[in-house]
C-alpha cells in the first residue's frame, strides 16, 4: 500500500485547479446517486465540490459540522444570540450546523479565499437566513488558489469590537506564520471585550518533534524557524508550529489567556479520550 505521506505528496504536486477537477470527476458517480436518492440535505454540497478535504460524504459532512458546533459550545460557550466570525468558512461545514443553533438575534459572518465555497454558501444558506453572510477575499494560498492578495497584510472587512466569538477550523494549519500572526492581530481588533476565540492548529514541542518529523502517516519533515512544513513546495499544505512560537504570537497579538487541548494527530497510539484530530487552541 502506498504510504499516506506519498499519496499526499502526489496530491500536492497538482495545481489547485487540477485538484478541483480530479475531485469532481472522481466523485461524479457518487454525487449522481446521492442526488437521485435524496441523501444530500438542502445546504450540503456535492462531494465533488467539497474542496476542503475528506470524502464529502453528505452524512459525514453534517456529522463533522455538528461535532465542530459541539466543540464551540463546550469550549467557548457559543450562544444562540452570539455574533460569530468563521475564518476560512470553506463550503459551509460549520455554518450548516450553526443554522439550527443561532437564533434571529445572533449573526454569522464567514470569509474565505475560495470563491466557489463562498458562492455556494451565500446561494444556499445566506438566501434562507439573512443573518448568515459569506465574503470572498481574493488572497493567495498555494494550496487553494493563485490569487495575488497577501493574507499577511489583509484587514478583516469588519469594524472593531464586532464579534462575541471567533473561530477557525483547520485554517491556521494551512497558512504561513506571518499570515497567522496578522489574522490573530485582526481577530483581536474585531473581537468584543470579553469575547473568545477557538482555532485548530498543529502544535508540537521538544518532546514530540522527532515523532512528528518522520512517522510515515502524517509528518512534517521540513524544519524552519520554530515551525515545520509537510511539503516544502506547497507551503500551505500543512504547517505545524512550536508551542513557544504559538505563545509568542498570541502575546504579540494581545491575547493573554491561551489554552491548548491536544489533538490525536501526534499520538503514537491514539488516546481515545481526545475529541479532535487537530489541536484546539482557545484564546482571549
Ligand atoms: C481545510 S479547509 C477548512 C474549511 C472550514 N473551516 C471547515 O472546517 O470545513 C481550509 C479553508 O481555509 C481557507 N483559507 C486558506 N487560506 C485562507 C486565508 N488566508 N483566509 C481565509 N481563508 C483561508 C481555504 O480556502 C479553505 O476553505
What's the CATH code of the domain at 144? 3.40.50.150
Confidence check: pLDDT of 275 > 60? yes
Q: Is residue 18 part of a domain?
A: no
Distance 252 CA to ligand 1 centre (A): 23
Cell representation of residue 54: 475528506
For the CA of 114, the nearest atom of ligand 1: 25
Residue 48 lies in a domain: no
Domain assignment present for residue 9? The answer is no
Whole-number percent of the chain with pLDDT over 70 = 99
Interval between CA 144 and ligand 1 midpoint (Å): 8
pTM across the whole model: 0.95
Q: Which helix (H) or strand (E) holds 64?
A: helix 58-76
What integer pLDDT is reported at residue 237 of this predicted model?
A: 86
> Alpha carbon of 198 to those of 73, 86, 218, 279: distances in Å?
11, 10, 23, 10
Nearest alpha carbon, ligand 1 atom 18: 113
> What percent of the chain clears pLDDT 90, i.e. is strictly above it?
85
DSSP type of residue 147? -
What is the position in ligand 1's atom list of the atom closest to the CA of 144?
Answer: 25
Residue 195 pLDDT > 60:
yes
| Rounded-to-5 percentages of helix, strand, coil across the chain | 40, 20, 45
Q: Give 226 or 147, the one with higher predicted confidence.
A: 226
Q: In the predicted model, what is the mean pLDDT of residues 158-171?
A: 98
Task: Tell whether 100 is covered by a domain.
Answer: yes
pLDDT of 121 above 80: yes
Mean of pLDDT over the chain: 95
Q: How far apart are the first and last CA of the chain?
A: 44
Q: Which domain holds residue 177?
A: 60-283
For residue 182, name the pLDDT band (cuts at 50, 70, 90). Answer: very high
How many structural domains comprise the chain? 1
User: What's the CA-to-centroid distance between 91 and ligand 1, angstroms?
Assistant: 9
**2 is a domain residue:** no
Position 183 in a domain = yes
Beta strands 203-204 and 191-201, pairing class: unpaired
Please report whether residue 136 resides in a domain.
yes
- Confidence band (pLDDT; 50, 70, 90) for 1? very low
- How confident is residue 234, by pLDDT bands cut at 50, 70 and 90? confident
Asked if pLDDT for residue 101 goes beyond 50, the answer is: yes
Pocket test for ligand 1, best of 47, 112, 199 (most atoms within 8 A of CB): 112
pLDDT score, position 2: 56
Between 59-73, 122-136, 139-153, the lowest mean confidence (pLDDT) is in: 139-153
Residue 95 lies in a domain: yes
Amino acid at each position: 500500500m502506498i504510504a499516506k505521506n506519498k499519496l499526499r505528496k502526489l496530491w500536492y504536486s497538482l495545481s489547485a485547479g487540477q485538484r478541483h477537477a480530479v475531485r469532481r470527476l472522481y466523485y461524479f458517480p457518487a454525487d449522481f446517486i446521492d442526488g437521485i436518492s435524496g441523501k444530500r440535505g438542502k445546504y450540503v454540497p456535492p462531494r465533488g465540490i467539497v474542496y476542503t478535504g475528506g470524502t464529502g460524504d453528505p452524512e459525514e459532512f453534517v456529522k463533522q459540522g455538528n461535532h465542530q458546533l459541539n466543540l464551540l459550545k463546550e469550549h467557548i460557550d457559543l450562544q444562540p444570540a452570539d455574533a460569530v466570525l468563521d475564518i476560512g468558512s470553506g463550503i459551509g461545514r460549520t455554518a450548516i450546523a450553526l443554522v439550527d443553533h443561532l437564533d434571529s438575534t445572533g449573526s454569522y459572518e464567514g470569509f474565505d479565499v475560495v470563491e466557489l465555497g463562498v458562492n455556494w454558501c451565500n446561494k444556499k444558506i445566506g438566501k434562507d437566513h439573512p443573518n448568515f453572510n459569506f465574503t470572498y477575499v481574493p488572497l493567495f494560498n498555494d494550496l487553494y488558489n493563485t490569487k495575488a492578495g497577501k493574507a499577511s497584510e489583509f484587514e478583516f472587512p469588519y469594524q472593531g469590537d464586532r464579534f462575541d466569538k471567533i473561530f477557525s477550523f483547520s485554517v491556521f494549519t494551512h497558512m504561513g506564520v506571518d499570515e497567522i500572526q496578522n489574522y490573530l492581530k485582526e481577530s483581536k481588533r474585531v473581537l468584543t471585550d470579553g469575547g473568545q476565540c477557538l482555532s485548530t492548529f498543529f502544535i508540537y514541542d521538544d518532546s514530540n518533534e522527532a515523532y512528528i518529523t518522520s512517522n510515515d502517516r502524517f509528518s512534517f519533515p521540513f524544519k524552519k524557524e520554530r515551525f515545520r512544513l509537510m511539503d516544502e513546495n506547497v507551503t500551505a499544505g500543512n504547517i505545524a508550529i512550536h508551542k513557544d512560537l504559538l505563545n509568542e504570537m498570541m502575546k504579540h497579538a494581545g491575547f493573554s489567556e491561551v489554552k491548548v487541548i491536544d489533538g490525536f494527530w501526534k499520538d503514537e497510539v491514539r488516546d481515545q479520550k481526545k475529541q479532535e484530530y487537530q489541536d484546539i487552541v482557545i484564546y482571549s
